């Protein structure tokens, strides 16, 4: 039988591995898709890179400040996911209206969400999901529970 500290440590390791797998996969996909044409498209790539650097630093140094930095980055991941979805939605609305200028209201909304054209409206939600995963990893982390 595992004690609670071992259980939570194992869960935390699993969460971190899942975050790393997702972040590396998302970063590779964004690069392969050429998600680098405009300045705002670099935001998720920069956030992913920064999170990996901070986690490497934490693995080497085990400093509380690096975990706090990771938490801040995870909040930025969530914001990035929300902002990205809005930007993708706006871009897709423009595209749909060029193709079908008579669309409006709920019909336009559903066409934008269901259409197979790029950019996918809900894809940036992956950044929010990774951010939440990182925040769960940090939740009641032993290094953050210690008094400074």
- What average pLDDT does this structure show over 70-89? 97
Class of residue 2 by CB neighbours under 10 A (exposed 0-12, middle 13-18, buried 19+): exposed
According to the model, what pLDDT value does residue 37 have? 92
Residue-wise pLDDT for 87-125, tens only, equals 999 999 999 999 999 999 999 999 898 877 788 898 999
Residue-wise pLDDT for 14-67, tens only, equals 999 999 999 999 999 999 999 999 999 999 999 999 999 999 999 999 999 999
Query: How many other CB atoms are there within 10 angstroms of residue 144's CB atom?
Result: 13
Q: Of 141, 129, 114, 39, nearest to 77 (Cα)?
A: 129
C-beta separation of 67 from 135 below 8 A: no
CA 32 → CA 2, 26, 81, 85, distances in Å? 42, 10, 19, 19
According to the model, what pLDDT value does residue 126 have? 96
Peptide bond into 82 cis (omega under 30): no
Parse the chain into domains and list their residue ranges: 4-80+123-142
**How far apart are the C-alpha atoms of 56 and 51, rounded to whole Å?**
9
Name the DSSP class of 103: -
More confident residue, 78 or 144: 78
CA 108 → CA 42, 53, 83, 102, 119, distances in Å? 28, 41, 20, 9, 15
């Amino acid at each position: 039988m595992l004690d609670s500290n071992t259980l939570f440590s194992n869960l935390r390791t699993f969460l971190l591995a899942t975050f790393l797998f997702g972040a590396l996969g998302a970063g590779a996909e964004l690069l392969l898709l050429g998600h680098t044409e405009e300045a705002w498209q670099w935001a998720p790539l920069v956030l992913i890179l920064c999170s990996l650097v901070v986690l490497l630093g934490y693995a080497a140094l085990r400093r509380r400040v690096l975990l706090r930095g990771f938490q801040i980055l995870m909040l930025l991941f969530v914001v990035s996911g929300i902002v990205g979805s809005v930007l993708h939605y706006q871009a897709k609305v423009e595209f749909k209206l060029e193709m079908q200028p008579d669309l409006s209201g709920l019909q336009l909304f559903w066409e934008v969400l269901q259409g197979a054209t790029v950019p996918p409206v809900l894809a940036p939600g992956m950044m929010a999901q990774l951010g939440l995963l990182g925040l769960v990893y940090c939740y009641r982390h032993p290094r953050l529970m210690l008094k400074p």
